[in-house]
């Protein structure tokens, strides 16, 4: 039954769009991150961060041996970027601060005024342009002096981050009403701190048995401390909100077997619950606690490799989010990996999780970033899972996007992807009554995509990285998104004619039939 439903889901996502208008208060935006666009890596007193260090000393870890030294040069071209935002018509711009640009040594004993001025000028111009900033404090670029102390595997980072957050709230809080402490700890705690297929990622530590868990525990405590600082010292006068940005692929059981249903829960709890459960429910997910403890015992450890929170820490972390920031790109088919196949191999987060992933061959695959498949219905399921498990929070989609090789300004696949995923957002709002309040597309422009360098392009604006001027040129998707924002619906007159976007009356009628079948099944 399940393979048939996957096929029906695919047909539905390819043929039917939700034609409801986006709610009046729904916010459209785009997103970027400091290291990926700013450049100016050592300009005006900025300190070295871990990605500066990693790309300079280990260039072979990057697909094209590139770095973010110049990137999109937004440090010098932020005014041009804001003009693109204004023309696009977005109401929100999500970007991150470079910790090393503000505190070059990582600590609060010295503040770099040139870095502060850069962000103040950016924020003031956004304010004058009527664009609301959603500011991330940390998007993977820790100051290198703190990385030399162990980075996020060092519990002292809780206090260093709290000091940095306090400086940011004091300096920029009058202009910022939406804060995110961390972007995707699931990504950097895994890819940076354990040695697996994602090991080409700063800082490149090989701490497979415990690294990701030590990192996760530190991040949760640091996030909570920053939240409480804002709550106690700044909220009354600044009236802002604080959250953390979490990411997970939707985990769809590969079959309807009990084992693969178990794999779905394992995938979602180890992927999302590891952070969301402590913040929205309290403590690690019990499934994780039990599973890691059992595996650690069988592996000969004297105690669980998953750090244990005290009751005081559980209470301190719980409730430290004012809204839910969700990054989502794609869906995995998941299967259960049996216990007997995993004990005695290695000790790792990946084996603790205990699942294998695959994808359906009918799902369109992105260029270069081939992990990214076009599965719009997965976002609706992910939104509903978050809503049902974490107390019906206000949800903001803070990243969602499609990669290609950037060879053409005509990008119909990006339009098709974004249209489908926005339709799923509308489904969640109107059909499921979930409180989704905004969407920021990744990304405004092509940029440095971490281990992919400049080979993978997610932008709605092309950047000529061979040009000293880093010339920006809007793509077809930019003008399509502008039209959607103006129309506040997935309007037919916004469609860019292409083979992939044509829809006939017959396919729409067929979509209605599929919708009925799926509705009966999910009920």
**Interstrand relation of 331-336 and 250-253 (parallel, antiparallel or unpaired):** parallel
| Residue 241 β-bridge partners | 178
Rounded Cα distance between 316 and 494, Å, is 47
| Residue 442 β-bridge partners | 31
Query: CA angle, 257 as apex, 253 and 258 as ends, to 5°?
Result: 95
Classify residue 153 by burial, with Cβ atoms within 10 Å: 0-12, 13-18, 19+. buried
Structure tokens at 136: 């991330």
Rounded Cα distance between 188 and 62, Å, is 16
- Give the per-residue pLDDT at 196: 54
Q: Considering only CA atoms, which of 94, 93, 241 is closest in space to residue 179?
A: 241
User: Per-residue confidence of the chain (523 residues) as pLDDT tens digits?
Assistant: 544 544 445 444 445 899 999 999 999 999 999 999 999 999 999 999 999 999 999 999 999 999 999 999 999 999 999 999 999 999 999 999 999 999 999 999 999 999 999 999 999 999 999 999 999 999 999 999 999 999 999 999 999 999 999 999 999 999 999 999 999 999 999 999 986 555 689 999 989 899 999 999 999 999 999 999 999 999 999 999 999 999 999 999 999 999 999 999 999 999 999 999 999 999 999 999 999 999 999 999 999 999 999 999 999 999 999 999 999 999 999 999 976 666 766 889 999 999 999 999 999 999 999 999 999 999 999 999 999 999 999 999 999 999 999 999 999 999 999 999 999 999 999 999 999 999 999 999 999 999 999 999 999 999 999 999 999 999 999 999 999 999 999 987 887 644 444 343 333 444 444 444 444 444 4
Within 10 angstroms of residue 149's Cβ, the number of other Cβ atoms is 14
Residues with a catalytic annotation lie at: 184, 399
Let me know: does 327 contact 235? Beta carbons within 8 Å: no
Structure tokens at 114: 């040139």
Rounded Cα distance between 459 and 401, Å, is 8
* Cα 132 to the center of its chain, rounded Å: 19
Three-state DSSP state, 249:
coil
End-to-end CA distance of the chain: 15
Tokens 């530190």 belong to which residue?
218
**Interstrand relation of 132-138 and 178-183 (parallel, antiparallel or unpaired):** parallel
H-helix or E-strand spanning residue 195: none
Q: Residue 176: CB partners within 8 Å, gap ≥ 6?
A: 123, 133, 135, 238, 240
- Give the per-residue pLDDT at 197: 54
59-to-52, 65, 188, 404, 447 alpha-carbon distances in Å: 10, 5, 18, 22, 17
- Give the per-residue pLDDT at 195: 63
What are the strands, taking DSSP E only, across 122-161? 132-138
Let me know: does 80 contact 148? Beta carbons within 8 Å: no
* Residue extents of the structural domains in the chain: 18-502
Query: CA angle, 400 as apex, 355 and 35 as ends, to 5°?
Result: 100
Rounded Cα distance between 317 and 229, Å, is 13
- Binning the chain into helix, strand and coil, the percentages to the nearest 5 are 45, 15, 40
Q: Considering only CA atoms, which of 274, 299, 301 is closest in space to residue 287?
A: 274
| Helix orientation angle between 412-430 and 2-15, rounded to the nearest 10 degrees | 110
- Give the per-residue pLDDT at 184: 98
Rounded Cα distance between 383 and 424, Å, is 9
Rounded Cα distance between 19 and 490, Å, is 6
13-to-4, 76, 136, 214, 410 alpha-carbon distances in Å: 14, 41, 32, 39, 22
Top CATH class, 18-502: alpha beta
- Give the per-residue pLDDT at 76: 98
- Give the per-residue pLDDT at 500: 41
What are the strands, taking DSSP E only, across 126-278? 132-138, 178-183, 241-247, 250-253
Classify residue 490 by burial, with Cβ atoms within 10 Å: 0-12, 13-18, 19+. buried
């Amino acid at each position: 039954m399940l393979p048939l439903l996957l096929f029906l889901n695919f047909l539905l996502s390819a043929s039917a769009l939700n034609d409801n208008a986006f709610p009046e208060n729904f916010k459209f935006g785009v997103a970027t991150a400091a290291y990926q666009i700013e450049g100016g890596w050592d300009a005006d007193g900025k300190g070295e961060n871990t990605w500066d260090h990693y790309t300079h000393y280990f260039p072979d870890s990057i697909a094209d041996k590139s770095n973010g030294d110049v990137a999109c040069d937004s440090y010098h071209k932020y005014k041009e970027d804001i003009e693109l935002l204004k023309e696009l018509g977005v109401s929100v711009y999500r970007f991150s601060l470079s910790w090393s640009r503000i505190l070059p040594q990582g600590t609060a004993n010295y503040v770099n005024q040139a870095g502060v001025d850069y962000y103040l000028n950016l924020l003031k111009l956004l304010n004058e342009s009527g664009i609301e900033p959603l500011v991330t404090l940390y998007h993977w670029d820790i100051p290198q002096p703190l990385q030399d102390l162990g980075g996020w595997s060092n519990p002292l980072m809780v206090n260093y981050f709290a000091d940095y957050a306090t400086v940011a709230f004091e300096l920029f809080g009058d202009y910022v009403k939406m804060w995110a402490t961390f972007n995707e700890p699931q990504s950097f705690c895994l890819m940076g701190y354990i040695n697996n297929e994602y090991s080409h990622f700063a800082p490149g530590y090989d701490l497979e048995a415990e690294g990701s868990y030590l990192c996760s525990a530190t991040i949760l405590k640091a996030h909570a401390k920053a939240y409480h600082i804002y709550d106690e010292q700044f909220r009354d006068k600044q009236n802002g909100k604080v959250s953390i940005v979490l990411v997970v692929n939707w985990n769809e059981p590969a079959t309807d077997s009990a084992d693969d249903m178990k794999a779905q829960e394992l995938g979602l709890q180890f992927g999302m619950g590891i952070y969301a459960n402590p913040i929205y429910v309290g403590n690690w997910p019990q499934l994780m606690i039990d599973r890691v403890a059992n595996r650690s015992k069988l592996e000969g450890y004297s105690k669980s490799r998953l750090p244990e929170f005290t009751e005081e820490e559980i209470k301190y972390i719980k409730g430290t989010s004012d809204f839910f920031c969700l990054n989502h790109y794609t869906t995995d088919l998941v299967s259960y990996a049996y216990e007997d196949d995993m004990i005695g191999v290695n000790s790792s987060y990946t084996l603790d999780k205990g699942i294998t992933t695959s994808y359906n061959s009918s799902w369109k695959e992105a260029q270069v970033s081939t992990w990214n498949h076009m599965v719009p219905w997965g976002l609706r399921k992910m939104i509903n899972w978050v809503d049902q498990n974490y107390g019906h929070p206000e949800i903001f989609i803070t990243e969602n996007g499609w990669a290609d090789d950037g060879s053409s300004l005509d990008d119909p696949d990006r339009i098709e992807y974004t249209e489908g995923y926005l339709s799923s957002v509308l489904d969640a709002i109107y059909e499921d009554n979930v409180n989704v309040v905004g969407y920021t597309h990744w990304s405004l422009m092509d940029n440095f995509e971490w281990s992919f360098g400049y080979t993978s392009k997610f932008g709605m604006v092309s950047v000529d990285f061979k040009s000293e001027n880093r010339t920006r040129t809007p793509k077809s998707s930019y003008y399509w998104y502008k039209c959607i924002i103006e129309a506040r619906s997935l309007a037919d007159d916004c469609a860019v004619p292409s083979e992939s976007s044509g829809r006939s009356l017959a396919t729409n009628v067929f979509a209605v039939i599929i919708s009925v079948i799926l509705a009966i099944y999910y009920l």
